[in-house]
């Protein structure tokens, strides 16, 4: 399929995104729609599998026939046979009338069977007969009936593993898996997340007649990196929350404000996309999230320092006012240096004259405590010590986490937002001594 054809389908069915995996899934759906082949759609819950089933139906020759979506996991085991294939009067207690099943009422159309892995084994045997011979028998009846129904199935579990556990029929799996379509999870769609967020907030703003919110660059980056275990469904709920609760504040939403809308952000794996567009493994997600947190805190504190230096360059007088305002940045300097309580030695009491070059200001990095959000330590980095790397800061954070949790790796790893396995490897890598 050409990019123009794929874009045409996106416009027609309201599909948003340009991820390669999404485009490939759409291309397969478009090609298989014109046939009567059975399709198996795989993907995580909330990733949009039902949308693909509707696309297949509406692009097929059955588009004028009925379409019905059935959640196999939501129908009780005792009634699912009756729901799908119907029953005759008196076939079981409560069967006071004859009933047509979905395979009879949707004759000439399409049935979408979601969560197919939840279907009972006995019902699977009945479904296999429909797929192979296009015939079924109502519950309690002996007459064989014909049906011309196309089946599109979907699942969010590994059916091969279900077959190995005896939970799913192997012959049915191969019959359903004639044409597989893999719908990518939201976390693997990169900048599609931002596009979808803007679409959702715009729709909600129009519905509630308010101005749509906007995201600052750091918030947009944080949103794209979030794991989204609930996929598109979760993103849509988050977008609605933000649009309603933040509409009164016209300023773009920064990462700090966005953080409260992302559940368990620190403990969720964060996807980083490489040059090939694929995410890294879960173990490296945790490590990179830790470094990302350090960089985020560093950037915030560098901005504070820039404000202070700007005041210096504007020839503002030094004195007790500046020390009271910015004393937290200098309160824990090297104990061998002059105490900050003596402002005359730390800073000149008169402004620098214009012809004097501005002084070199030491780089000061302020790290937030990762659990209580209280400032616990200030690291002073002199001009001669510029070799201090992110790895050293990472080591210090790990040591603090271990100390704060009495050496218990499990809780230290949770506080850091990384896996216990990653923490163990970092302890070995940095040769950290544990109490």
* Residues contacting residue 91 through CB under 8 Å, at least 6 positions apart: 82, 138, 139, 140, 141
Bridge partners (DSSP) of residue 182 are 42
Would you say 315 and 354 are in contact if contact means Cβ atoms under 8 Å apart? yes
Q: What is the pLDDT of residues 26-68, one digit of tens each?
A: 999 999 999 999 999 999 999 999 999 999 999 999 999 999 9
Residue 40: helix, strand or coil by DSSP?
strand
* Residues contacting residue 28 through CB under 8 Å, at least 6 positions apart: 179, 181
Measured CA to CA, the distance from residue 108 to residue 135 in angstroms comes to 13
* Residues contacting residue 52 through CB under 8 Å, at least 6 positions apart: 25, 26, 29, 41, 181, 183
Question: Could you tell me which residue, 329 or 236, shows the higher pLDDT?
Answer: 236
Level-2 CATH architecture, domain 3-184: 3-Layer(aba) Sandwich (3.40)
Residue 217 half-sphere exposure toward CB, CA atoms < 13 A: 1
Domain boundaries in the chain? 3-184, 187-267, 282-430
Q: What one-character DSSP code corresponds to residue 76?
A: -
Listed ranges 115-124, 327-336, 413-422; the one with the highest mean pLDDT: 115-124
Residue 258: helix, strand or coil by DSSP?
helix
CATH class of 187-267: mainly alpha
pLDDT over 60 (residue 102)? yes
How many contiguous H segments (helices) and E segments (strands) does the chain have? 18, 11
* Residues contacting residue 259 through CB under 8 Å, at least 6 positions apart: 222, 265
Q: What is the pLDDT of residues 158-215, one digit of tens each?
A: 999 999 999 999 999 999 999 999 999 999 999 999 999 999 999 999 999 999 999 9
Task: Please state whether beta strands 363-368 and 86-87 pair in parallel, antiparallel, or not at all (unpaired).
Answer: unpaired
Measured CA to CA, the distance from residue 150 to residue 106 in angstroms comes to 9
Would you say 192 and 16 are in contact if contact means Cβ atoms under 8 Å apart? yes
For residue 42, the model assigns a pLDDT of: 96
Paired tokens of 144: 């064989």
Bridge partners (DSSP) of residue 69 are 112
pLDDT interval class at 243 (50, 70, 90): very high
For residue 290, the model assigns a pLDDT of: 56
pLDDT over 60 (residue 387)? no
Bridge partners (DSSP) of residue 144 are 137
Name which of 396, 393, 195, 419 is nearest 294 in CA terms: 393
Q: What is the pLDDT of residues 352-386, one digit of tens each?
A: 344 433 333 333 334 344 333 433 443 344 434 44
User: What is the Cα gyration radius of the chain?
Assistant: 30
pLDDT, the chain, mean: 79
Would you say 179 and 27 are in contact if contact means Cβ atoms under 8 Å apart? no
**Can you give the pTM of this predicted structure?**
0.62
Name which of 47, 24, 42 is nearest 236 in CA terms: 47
Task: Please state whether beta strands 135-137 and 144-146 pair in parallel, antiparallel, or not at all (unpaired).
Answer: antiparallel
Residue 334: helix, strand or coil by DSSP?
coil
Residue 98: helix, strand or coil by DSSP?
coil
Would you say 127 and 117 are in contact if contact means Cβ atoms under 8 Å apart? no
């Amino acid at each position: 399929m050409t990019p123009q054809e794929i874009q045409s389908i996106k416009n027609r069915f309201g599909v948003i995104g340009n991820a390669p995996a999404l485009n490939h899934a759409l291309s397969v759906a478009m090609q298989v729609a014109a046939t009567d082949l059975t399709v198996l759609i795989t993907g995580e819950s909330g990733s949009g599998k039902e949308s693909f089933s509707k696309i297949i139906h509406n692009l097929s020759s059955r588009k004028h026939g009925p379409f019905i979506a059935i959640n196999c996991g939501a129908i009780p085991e005792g009634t699912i046979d009756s729901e799908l294939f119907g029953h005759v009067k008196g076939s079981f207690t409560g069967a006071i009338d004859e009933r047509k099943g979905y395979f009879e009422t949707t004759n000439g159309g399409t049935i979408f069977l979601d969560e197919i892995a939840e279907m009972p084994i006995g019902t699977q045997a009945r479904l296999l007969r429909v797929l192979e011979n296009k015939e079924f028998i109502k519950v309690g009846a002996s007459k064989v009936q014909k049906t011309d129904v196309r089946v599109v199935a979907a699942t969010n579990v590994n059916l091969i593993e279900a077959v190995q556990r005896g939970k799913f029929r192997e012959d049915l799996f191969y019959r359903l898996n004639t044409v597989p379509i893999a719908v990518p999870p939201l976390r693997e769609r990169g900048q599609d997340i931002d596009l979808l967020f803007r679409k959702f907030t715009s729709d909600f703003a129009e519905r509630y007649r308010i101005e749509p919110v906007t995201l600052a660059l750091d918030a947009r980056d944080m949103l794209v990196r979030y794991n989204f275990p609930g996929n598109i469904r979760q993103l849509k709920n988050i977008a609605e929350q933000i649009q309603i609760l933040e509409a009164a504040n016209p300023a773009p939403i920064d990462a700090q404000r966005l953080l409260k809308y992302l559940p368990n952000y620190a403990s969720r794996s964060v996807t980083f996309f490489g040059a090939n567009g694929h995410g890294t493994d879960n173990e490296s997600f945790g490590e990179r999230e830790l470094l990302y947190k350090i960089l985020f805190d560093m950037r915030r504190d560098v901005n504070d320092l820039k404000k202070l230096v700007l005041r210096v360059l504007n020839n503002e007088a030094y004195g007790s006012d500046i020390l009271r305002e910015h004393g937290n940045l200098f309160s824990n300097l090297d104990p061998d240096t002059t105490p900050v309580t003596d402002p005359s030695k730390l800073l000149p009491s008169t402004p620098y004259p214009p012809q004097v070059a501005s002084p070199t200001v030491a780089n000061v990095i302020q790290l937030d405590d990762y659990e209580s959000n209280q400032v616990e330590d200030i690291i002073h980095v002199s001009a001669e010590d510029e070799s201090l790397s992110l790895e050293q800061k990472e080591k210090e954070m790990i040591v603090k986490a271990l100390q704060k949790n009495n050496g218990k790796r499990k809780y230290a790893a949770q506080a850091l937002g990384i896996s216990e396995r990653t923490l163990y490897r970092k302890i070995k890598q940095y040769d950290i001594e544990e109490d």
